Structure 1
Amino acid sequence: MENNNTENKMPTLEVEQSSDIDKLINDDIETSDSDGILEEDGRSGFVKLPHGLALTVAETYPITASEVSKTIILIGPFDSGKTTIETTIYQLFQRKPFAGLYFAGSQSLFGYEERSFYTRLESKKETATTPRTSRFADEIFLHLKLYDRTTKTKTNYLFGDISGEEIYSHLGNVETISEKMPYLKSVDSYVFILDGKQLADKNKRNGAIDQAYTMARTIFDAKLYSSSTRVQVVISKYDILKTNDDANLETTIDKRLQCIVDLLKKYVSEVTVHKVAAMPEPGDLEVGYGLEELLGTWNKPHTDKQVVESYIIDSQLDSEFNKLIYKMQGRVSYV
């Protein structure tokens, strides 16, 4: 007689091992391309994705050591427009090529998006703003890789902003700023930003100019520059100046700014003045006014003289290994 007591068999469940779970949630991507595959944790065929946030100084070293890179440091007081300039350049590349350059990647997309939010309609704010950059934040660099179709080259741009408060904390003791921020020695361009809104106010104008002068002198007296360093003096929020009723206002400001230009030319050969309106109020100026010229200045190749002078500095080092170490410490500028 047949046994009709058949057991209800449940489907067998395979328990995922912890290693499988780690594989699923890890921020790695698998690639079938065998050329140049990176190994992460001993696993061939996986490439570690960047975290996407703003970069620390240490996180910029692999970029500057392996690829053509330019470091741009923006310096100015709170709400002067540093972050707005950085994020507007990023957003302009979302429309089309900009300043003759094409977007070729970024390791700080989340960092850009976080800072760009308050300049967009989604924020539901009446005016475009950007969050304040913490004085003590380690993640100060935003990264853009741009492709120049004319020269068929890619260049990494590392944008970092330093608060005026940070510079002022070192006034009277230039040795401390050299110790705290040695990476400034290898900066390609310093951008000293003056708030156009303050310049338009006759009660705040002289203070804003004197502040920029003091910050510039502190950095250059600390010898945080090289023979190839460039400087841009930028008037932000130019739309506010342009709509001012005083017809002589811009002439007055230009004359006062000459004291900063004269100071900087004692240290470096290339100093330029720019007027920008990254996110202007509705009117005659378009979004990103003046930024194309500014980006073109950063992208401009160095002269032969600057290359030779930098090479002379580098050639004093006794080995390629030491050159790399010195560069990572911010003690040598590479063109």
Structure 2
Amino acid sequence: MEIDEKDERIDKIDQILNDEIDIDVNQEGEEAEFSSLQDKYQINSGEALNSSDIYRIAAKESTRMIVLVGPVASGKTTMETSLYQLFQNSPVNDFCFAGSYSLQGFEQRAFYTRIKSKGNEPTTQRTSLEDNQAFLHIRLWNRNNNVISNLILADISGEAFTNHIGQVDEAKISFPFIERADYVVGIIDGEKLCNKKTRNSIVSEMIEMIRTFWDAELITDGCVLQIVFSKFDLFSKVENHNLILEKIKQQIVARLSELFMDIEYYNVAAMPSTIDEFSVGYGLEDLLQGWVRKHVRKSSRKMEEPFDELTEYDRLYYKFLGELNE
């Protein structure tokens, strides 16, 4: 009797392997166990990830979500691929490359920066507006303290961002993942900053993008706003560029400081036109340090309740945020 049951099980497994019968995933027993083994050993394709993929990563290890926001050709994808390529040469500061679920996605985007692409100058392929697989993953190992960190980089079309400026309801539908962001990185195109005619408009455009996401309640308390001046190798040649940057920062603070407790600024030349003054990946190491460092999430909301009326839990919460002085 036992031999017959064993033969029956072997025969059923052969049928499953040959696609002669379907597996009921809700069925208990050997078939369900076989199905779970299939899921367990599923191999990742290496393409860019979708929303469900990133949640599986975040459930296993410490993960930071970084959303790069900027118009078309502002340098978002170039920054992401350049960071990936820095790790192919050596560790970046104390961080070593420890894997990626989107290697193929990085390679596809980095192809046009390489000699074998036979391009006249390094560039990156523009992100498709219809591409649902819009997230890139890097896993890092800190050799100094043996800590593993995961970075999820949202690689969204610049056209998608500009089309949603002022469209609060549409932004809620199109960009729900921004609620998960630890860092929102606003990219201001340094090449366009060189032109007086486009300088003010691109800064205003960036501010309006950020405010749209805030009004859509997609930016949570504690999210850090980072402003990156991309293609800094070009903008640095402009006379009095440091003075221009200070005025831009003042403009950003005047419009956004009420929304964010933290606003950080970075100068980046991810793929400079020449390497005489700026090396490849200039500024990316500082940006990476900003993403992986431990920081206390602060709230932009001020305490409105009287202290005497707060519960013990609320009092502890406000003390943690540094908004309560006893």
Q: Do both share a fold (TM > 0.5)? A: yes
Aligned residue in 2 for 1:252:
244
Partner SS state of residue 279, structure 1? coil
Alignment check: 8 A CA contact 2:261 2:298 kept: no
Whole-angstrom distance in 2 between the partners of 1:225 and 1:43: 39
Picking from 256, 267, 271, the partner of 1:264 is 256
Alignment check: 8 A CA contact 1:81 1:237 kept: yes
Letter in 1 for 2:112: Y
Distance 1:21 1:98, change over 3 A: farther
Aligned residue in 2 for 1:6:
none
TM-fit CA distance, 1:102 = 0.8
2:287 equivalent to 1:299:
no
Whole-angstrom distance in 1 between the partners of 2:53 and 2:179: 17
Partner SS state of residue 129, structure 2? coil
Picking from 95, 108, 113, the partner of 2:107 is 113
Aligned residue in 2 for 1:29:
none
Whole-angstrom distance in 2 between the partners of 1:214 and 1:304: 24
2:189 equivalent to 1:191:
no
Aligned residue in 2 for 1:150:
144
TM-fit CA distance, 1:259 = 1.5
Aligned residue in 1 for 2:54:
60
Whole-angstrom distance in 2 between the partners of 1:68 and 1:40: 30
Distance 1:292 1:225, change over 3 A: same
Whole-angstrom distance in 1 between the partners of 2:49 and 2:262: 28
Distance 1:201 1:40, change over 3 A: farther
Structure 1 stretch displaced more, 92-101 or 147-156? 147-156
Whole-angstrom distance in 1 between the partners of 2:38 and 2:191: 55
Distance 1:261 1:226, change over 3 A: same
Alignment check: 8 A CA contact 1:76 1:212 kept: yes
TM-fit CA distance, 1:47 = 2.2
Aligned residue in 1 for 2:11:
none
2:268 equivalent to 1:276:
yes
Alignment check: 8 A CA contact 1:40 1:48 kept: no
Q: Deviations over 1:221-273 (max 9, x none)?
A: 212122221111000000001233x2x13312331232223333212211111
Whole-angstrom distance in 2 between the partners of 1:40 and 1:265: 55
Alignment check: 8 A CA contact 1:135 1:166 kept: yes
2:266 equivalent to 1:285:
no
Query: Which TM-score applies when normalising by structure 2?
Result: 0.78
2:270 equivalent to 1:238:
no
Query: Percent identity over the alignment?
Result: 37
2:139 equivalent to 1:131:
no
Whole-angstrom distance in 1 between the partners of 2:189 and 2:285: 19
Alignment check: 8 A CA contact 2:70 2:161 kept: no
Structure 1 stretch displaced more, 248-257 or 144-153? 248-257
Aligned residue in 1 for 2:81:
87
TM-fit CA distance, 1:304 = 7.0
Any gaps of 5 or more consecutive residues in structure 2?
1-13, 20-32, 303-312, 315-326
Picking from 45, 51, 54, the partner of 1:51 is 45
Distance 1:42 1:169, change over 3 A: same
Distance 1:168 1:104, change over 3 A: same
Alignment check: 8 A CA contact 1:99 1:295 kept: no
Partner SS state of residue 154, structure 1? strand
Aligned residue in 2 for 1:173:
167
Would you tell me which structure has more strand in proportion to its own residues? 1
Letter in 2 for 1:274: Y
TM-fit CA distance, 1:20 = 7.2
Across the aligned residues of Structure 1 and Structure 2, the Cα RMSD in angstroms comes to 2.4
Distance 1:172 1:231, change over 3 A: closer
Whole-angstrom distance in 2 between the partners of 1:305 and 1:219: 18
Letter in 1 for 2:106: Y
Aligned residue in 1 for 2:222:
228
TM-fit CA distance, 1:45 = 11
Distance 1:179 1:254, change over 3 A: same
Query: Which TM-score applies when normalising by structure 1?
Result: 0.76
Partner SS state of residue 191, structure 1? strand
Distance 1:94 1:40, change over 3 A: farther
Q: Deviations over 1:36-91 (max 9, x none)?
A: xxx87344797222110000112111111222100000011111100000001100
Letter in 1 for 2:219: Y
